[in-house]
């Protein structure tokens, strides 16, 4: 294995969440995908897409905003390799859930550097993304990092959300 001893220990002890976080800091997509696949098999069949989506979003959003874009794109390439290898480990009938479709379109938006596509897919797939409470923050971080989409924070964000619910606001 090419990952640190700490990650290997976590996998052997079935501490998948910690191992996943360690892998998200590495460059070993195939091993990461195999660990995520093993982890997903421990969960409900209906939730297998949550595992790979979480891993992809964590990896793509793992850079801070002061990192050069070329390093961020390296994360995208790793995340794509992770996703592609994961899909080879699953049955063909599992491909095509809303979350997996979101990830596919996210890669397209990243490749095209398209904020409108990013905003469209995050809105379109919002119900699927709400299946995991961690996704919202990860997706917003990706929006800010790669597309310049600022997160609503504080009172202004709350006011804009409330205004948009009433049919107004600047969204």
CB 110 within 8 A of CB 117: no
More confident residue, 132 or 165: 132
Tell me, what's the pLDDT at 113? 93
pLDDT in tens, 89-145: 886 545 589 999 999 999 999 999 999 999 999 999 999 999 999 999 999 999 998
CB 61 within 8 A of CB 138: yes
pLDDT in tens, 7-21: 444 344 457 777 766
Gyration radius of the chain's alpha carbons: 17
Tell whether pTM > 0.75: no
Please name each of the domains of the chain with its CATH number. 5-165 (1.25.40.10)
Count other Cβ atoms within 10 Å, centred on residue 159. Answer: 12
More confident residue, 83 or 34: 83
SS (H, E, C) the chain: CCCCHHHHHHHHCCCHHHHHHHHCCCCCHHHHHHHHHHHHCCCCHHHHHHHHHHHHHHHHCCCCCCCCHHHHHHHHHHHHHHHHHHHHHCCHHHCCCHHHHHHHHHHHHHHHCCHHHHHHHHHHCHHHHCCCCCHHHHHHHHHHHHHCCCCCCHHHHHHHHHHHHCCCCCC
Tell me, what's the pLDDT at 169? 46
Tell me, what's the pLDDT at 100? 92
């Amino acid at each position: 294995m090419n990952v640190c001893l700490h990650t290997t220990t976590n996998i052997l002890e079935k501490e998948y969440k910690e191992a996943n976080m360690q892998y998200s800091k590495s460059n070993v997509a195939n091993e990461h995908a195999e660990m995520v696949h093993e982890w997903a098999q421990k969960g409900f069949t209906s939730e297998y897409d949550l595992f790979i989506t979480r891993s992809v979003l964590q990896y793509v959003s793992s850079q801070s905003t002061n990192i050069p874009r070329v390093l961020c794109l390296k994360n995208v390439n790793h995340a794509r390799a992770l996703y592609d290898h994961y899909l080879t480990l699953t049955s063909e009938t599992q491909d095509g859930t809303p979350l997996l479709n979101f990830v596919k379109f996210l890669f397209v938006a990243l490749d095209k550097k398209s904020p409108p596509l990013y905003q469209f897919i995050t809105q379109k797939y919002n119900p699927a993304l709400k299946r995991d409470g961690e996704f919202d923050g990860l997706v917003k971080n990706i929006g800010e990092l790669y597309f310049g989409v600022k997160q609503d924070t504080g009172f202004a964000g709350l006011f804009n959300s409330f205004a948009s619910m009433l049919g107004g606001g600047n969204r």
